Amino acid sequence: MVQLSTIVLAAASVLPSLTQAAGLHSSAVAKGKLYFGTATDNGELSDTAYVAQLGNTDDFGQLTPGNAMKWDATEPSQNTFSFNNGDVIANLAAKNGQKLRCHTLVWHSQLPNWVSSGSWTNATLIAAMKNHITNVVTHYKGKCYAWDVANEVLNEDGTYRDSVFYKVIGEAFLPIAFATAAAADPSAKLYYNDYNIESPGAKASGAQRIVKLVKQYGAKIDGVGLQAHFIVGSTPSQSSQSTNLAAFTALGVDVAYTELDIRMNLPSTSAQLAQQSADYQSTIAACMGNTRCIGMTIWDWTDKYSWVPSTFSGQGDACPWDSNLVKKPAYAGILAALGGTPSSTVTTTLVTTTTSANNGGGTGVPLYGQCGGLGWTGGKVCATGTCKYQNDWYSQCL
Ligand SMILES: O[C@@H]1[C@@H](O)[C@H](O[C@@H]2CO[C@@H](O[C@@H]3CO[C@@H](O[C@@H]4CO[C@@H](O)[C@H](O)[C@H]4O)[C@H](O)[C@H]3O)[C@H](O)[C@H]2O)OC[C@H]1O
């Protein structure tokens, strides 16, 4: 009996090093990335529990406003600017010590009517676009780590989308936009941002053409944002994403995952949640494998406020936390790809420590419902070979 107590106390004395939990952002930074972050939106900021986790800088070192900096929000009528909602999020990020990705300056969507339906000439639209960019970027000067200068200007085949900007100005609207943003805030990183450019293909090639175009005009472009609005089970493979990232970074720009979420048909099943975890993990791993993939942002962190259900009928559950703000298996998948240390309870650690002779550790990929792989701190093998997902990690044998 005395001997057993001694063993338990000895195990407890090493607990801090065994149970030190590192969150998503801390783990990303420890591996040389600038941030792991999340989008947020003004309507969510009255939810106290939501705001508490949003400000948890162990998980989130960066925020992106989901809507507050778009053209319809910042310049609803010509030359009348409104920064109230954007300021709320910029100030919150500053208060929390989080980087701010600013989103977005030139986009065909969420444009006020005066832009999308105006009677423009080449000269008047260039002037209006430059005025918008100059005012908005100047207002946030010094506060934005990066700006998504242009968003989604490509069709799926890599040709230009038929936006008012392309129709009236032609492709020159892109270098003009980047040059204008650079003049207003020389220290902000300037990004081209799009979806379905996360694996090689015509649209990714189109984005690479844009990088070259902007550079050819002598304007600054620092990076390409890959939105990564994926679907469970059809997320591009890690190798395809890695090849794709390398094609961008070979052009001398940074890359970042800017709007990552992975949706599924509802209602979700445990198999879908397991696949979602694997899909998040392979995507984050692709970024981790490229030194110029500087950060990762999820498009909000909880299903409670995800944009997905209102946009894609019958789909949802796209985030790493569920609508009760509880971590899903996806969280563990992301953390494993970041090389982070999962949190575990004292009980788990003690059991793990005293059964280390059965340690099944190993270097495998941790998947929902399995244990003994990377990220399962003690490497404990359950009698059944499976673990129960509880709290925020696989903490009990079934
Ligand atoms: O409150 C929401 C905002 O959260 C929302 O933010 C935008 C969300 O994503 C970006 O734009 C969308 C990107 O996905 C496109 O659909 C894709 C169609 O192809 C599929 O293969 C792919 O999986 C889909 O993602 C949407 O058509 C785009 O709108 C954009 O950068 C964010 O600003 O905006 C609407 C607000 O109500």
Closest atom of ligand 1 to 310 CA is 37
- Residue 91 CA to residue 85 CA, distance in Å, equals 10
Question: Greater confidence, 106 or 398?
Answer: 106
| Å from CA of 66 to ligand 1 middle | 10
Percent of the chain with pLDDT over 90: 80
Q: Is the pLDDT of residue 233 over 70?
A: yes
Supply the angle between the helices 2-13 and 346-354 in degrees, to the nearest 10: 120
Instruction: For 13-68, give the DSSP string.
Output: HTHHHHH----HHHHHHHTT-SEEEEEE-GGGGG-HHHHHHHT-TTT-SEEEESST
Using one digit for the tens of pLDDT, what is the confidence trace for 113-152? 999 999 999 999 999 999 999 999 999 999 999 999 999 9
ipTM of the complex: 0.96
- Residue 340 CA to residue 46 CA, distance in Å, equals 31
CB 129 within 8 A of CB 170: no
For residues 308-312, average pLDDT: 98
Mutational test site, ligand 1, from 102, 153, 227, 231, max ligand atoms within 8 Å of CB: 227
Active site residues: 152, 259
Using one digit for the tens of pLDDT, what is the confidence trace for 68-110? 999 999 999 999 999 999 999 999 999 999 999 999 999 999 9
Comparing CA positions, the residue from 201, 250, 260, 252 lying closest to residue 225 is: 260
Which of the four pLDDT bands, split at 50, 70 and 90, describes residue 340? confident
For ligand 1, say whether the CB of 195 is within 6 Å of any of its atoms: yes
Angle at 19 between CA 15 and CA 20, to 5 degrees: 115
Q: Which two tokens stand for residue 230?
A: 């994926």
CB 65 within 8 A of CB 102: yes
Chain centroid to Cα 374, Å, comes to: 23
Mutational test site, ligand 1, from 38, 109, 110, max ligand atoms within 8 Å of CB: 109
Q: What is the pTM of this model?
A: 0.85
Supply the angle between the helices 122-139 and 173-184 in degrees, to the nearest 10: 30
Strand partners of residue 100:
63
Coil, helix or strand for 185?
Answer: coil
Q: Is the pLDDT of residue 366 over 90?
A: no
Q: Is the pLDDT of residue 225 over 80?
A: yes
Q: Which two tokens stand for residue 174?
A: 């892109």
Q: Is the pLDDT of residue 374 over 80?
A: no
Q: Is the pLDDT of residue 10 over 80?
A: no
Q: How many CB atoms lie within 10 A of CB 125?
A: 19
| Å from CA of 258 to ligand 1 middle | 12
- Residue 181 CA to residue 219 CA, distance in Å, equals 10
Torsion angle of C-alpha atoms 242, 246, 248, 253, degrees rounded to 10: 120
Amino acid at 237: S
Q: How many CA atoms lie within 13 A of 143 on its CB side?
A: 22
For ligand 1, say whether the CB of 393 is within 6 Å of any of its atoms: no
Question: Greater confidence, 340 or 258?
Answer: 258
- Residue 91 CA to residue 71 CA, distance in Å, equals 20
Coil, helix or strand for 307?
Answer: coil
Angle at 305 between CA 227 and CA 298, to 5 degrees: 30
For ligand 1, say whether the CB of 390 is within 6 Å of any of its atoms: no
Instruction: Write down the mean pLDDT value for the chain.
Output: 86
Question: Greater confidence, 34 or 18?
Answer: 34
Closest atom of ligand 1 to 41 CA is 1
Q: How far apart are the first and last CA of the chain?
A: 29
For ligand 1, say whether the CB of 229 is within 6 Å of any of its atoms: yes
Q: Which two tokens stand for residue 358?
A: 């059965």
